[in-house]
């Protein structure tokens, strides 16, 4: 009996010393604060808590994540990085370059991530051949979201397939006394619309040359001038109170029938789902007219920061949970995105989700899948932010089309 007591004492002492009696926990920095985003995040929190891992939430509001990245820099400068951070594309590569991210290779090898995650995502999830982030989804930005009743009321019989048909439909909606285009006047939102307008106007090769390769002849071109002319057309479709509006409040205008269209990434779909709206009945989703067959994507990945041994185990459990196929289905159905893994069945997804998955698979095989400039998947942040500045100044009338073309080409040399 005495031996047993001594043993128990030793175990208790050891546990207190290594802190393992305290529940395992992860601290996660993200910018998912809208209704639909929070609902999707809740799926991840519940999954982890079922696994005995406490979730310390660190939400930093601000669509597109600029504010979140600022908060992250402060935390890392203070020598106290979160366990994991929602991050996009080139930002992950920048943090990896600084040696701030942990090594997920052992888990990736055990779980076969190399075989199921598309190469377009792996390009950002790995650095020097090492997995440093776990991709939870694939969003795409060249979508239009439309309120079906508004289209019916305005007499828009068929979904617009071309840019001119889109303008004609918008004109009908305005004539019916409704807002044609719901929009939030913030640089990242203007840039999100820009993604689709570039694809629609110049096609995938033009997008790749101009916004990925930063080819000067493509940037400084009549095609890019036409892109800005079309952005000016969109400016005429928004309501007078658009400036500064958060993206999800613009989505709410389409959900409530105040507006006909929103050009936004498919996180907007999460707001429709959260509002219990049904695709095909309450709303319709279609590609920015002229960009059909192309997908400008951005993947939300959880970059895993280097943490102490006491956190490493719960960090691995978080990475494993994120990549679990069942979780990837449950999360993406709510988020409006599609799974980051190619081995997740589409049966739980609605018609817009199924279309998103089919479009991604088609674009992947046809080489018409390209990184969203607006959401950090075509150029590094310094150039992306310089592009944001030109696009938003033009949208607000501070630059005419020709000046915007010249400024964009200059920004690319930033």
Both structure tokens of 379: 């150029």
Site string (89-118) toward ligand GAL, x via CB under 6 A? ------------------------------
Give 250 or 259: the residue with its C-beta nearer to ligand GAL: 250
Site for ligand GAL contains 269 (CB under 6 A): no
Q: Which of 183, 230, 355, 375 binds ligand GAL (CB under 6 A)?
A: 375
Q: DSSP labels for 143-197?
A: EEEEEHHHHHHHT--S---SHHHHHHHHHHHHHTTSEEE---BSHHHHHHHHHHH
Distance in Å, CB of 33 to ligand GAL, minimum = 8
Among residues 120, 129, 162, the alpha carbon closest in space to that of 144 is found at 162
Give 247 or 387: the residue with its C-beta nearer to ligand GAL: 247
Site for ligand GAL contains 387 (CB under 6 A): no
Pick out residues in 11-40 that bind ligand GAL (CB under 6 A): 31-32, 37
Tokens 């199924």 belong to which residue?
354
Across-strand partners of 87?
A: 301
Q: Which of 27, 91, 111, 300 binds ligand GAL (CB under 6 A)?
A: 300
Site for ligand GAL contains 328 (CB under 6 A): no
Site string (224-263) toward ligand GAL, x via CB under 6 A? -----------------------x----------------
C-alpha distances out from residue 406 to 258, 372, 376, Å: 36, 21, 22
Site for ligand GAL contains 272 (CB under 6 A): no
Number of residues engaging ligand GAL in binding (CB under 6 A):
14
Site for ligand GAL contains 384 (CB under 6 A): no
Q: Which of 186, 200, 298, 314 binds ligand GAL (CB under 6 A)?
A: 298
Count of H-run helices and E-run strands, the chain: 19, 14
Per-position b or e across 92-110, b if 16+ CB within 10 A of its CB:
bbbbbeeebbbebeebbee
Strands 179-181 and 259-263: parallel
* Residues contributing to the site for ligand GAL (CB under 6 A): 31-32, 37, 63-65, 88, 139, 247, 265, 267, 298, 300, 375
């Amino acid at each position: 009996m005495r031996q047993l007591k001594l043993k128990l004492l030793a175990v208790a002492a050891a546990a207190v010393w290594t802190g393992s009696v305290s529940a395992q926990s992860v601290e996660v920095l993200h910018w998912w604060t809208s209704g639909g985003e929070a609902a999707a995040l809740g799926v991840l929190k519940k999954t982890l808590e079922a696994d005995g891992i406490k979730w310390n939430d660190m939400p930093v509001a601000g669509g597109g994540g600029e504010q979140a990245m600022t908060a992250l820099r402060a935390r890392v400068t203070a020598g106290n990085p979160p366990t994991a951070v929602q991050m996009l594309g080139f930002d992950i590569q920048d943090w990896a370059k600084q040696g701030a991210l942990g090594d997920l290779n052992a888990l990736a090898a055990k779980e076969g991530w190399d075989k199921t995650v598309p190469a377009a995502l792996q390009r950002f999830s790995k650095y020097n051949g090492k997995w440093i982030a776990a991709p939870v989804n694939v969003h795409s930005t060249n979508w239009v979201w439309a309120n079906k009743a508004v289209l019916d009321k305005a007499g828009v019989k068929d979904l617009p397939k071309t840019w001119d048909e889109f303008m004609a439909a918008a004109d009908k909606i305005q004539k019916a006394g409704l807002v044609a285009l719901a929009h939030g006047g913030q640089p990242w939102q203007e840039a999100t619309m820009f993604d689709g307008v570039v694809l629609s106007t110049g096609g995938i090769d033009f997008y790749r040359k101009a916004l990925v390769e930063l080819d000067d002849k493509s940037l400084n071109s009549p095609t890019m001038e036409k892109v800005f002319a079309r952005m000016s057309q969109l400016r005429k479709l928004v309501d007078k109170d658009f400036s500064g509006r958060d993206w999800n409040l613009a989505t709410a205008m389409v959900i409530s029938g105040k507006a006909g269209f929103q050009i936004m990434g498919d996180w907007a779909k999460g707001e429709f789902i959260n509002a219990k709206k049904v695709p095909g009945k309450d709303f319709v989703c279609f590609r920015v007219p002229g960009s059909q067959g192309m997908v400008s994507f951005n993947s939300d990945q959880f970059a895993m920061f280097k943490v102490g041994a006491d956190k490493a185990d719960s960090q691995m459990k978080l990475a494993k949970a994120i990549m679990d196929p069942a979780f990837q289905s449950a999360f993406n159905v709510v988020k409006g995105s599609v799974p980051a893994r190619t081995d997740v069945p589409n049966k739980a997804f609605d018609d817009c989700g199924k279309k998103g998955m089919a479009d991604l698979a088609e674009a992947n095989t046809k080489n018409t899948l390209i990184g969203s400039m607006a959401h950090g998947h075509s150029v590094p942040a310094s150039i992306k932010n310089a592009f944001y500045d030109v696009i938003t100044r033009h949208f607000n009338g501070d630059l005419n089309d020709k000046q915007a073309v010249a400024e964009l080409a200059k920004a690319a040399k930033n």
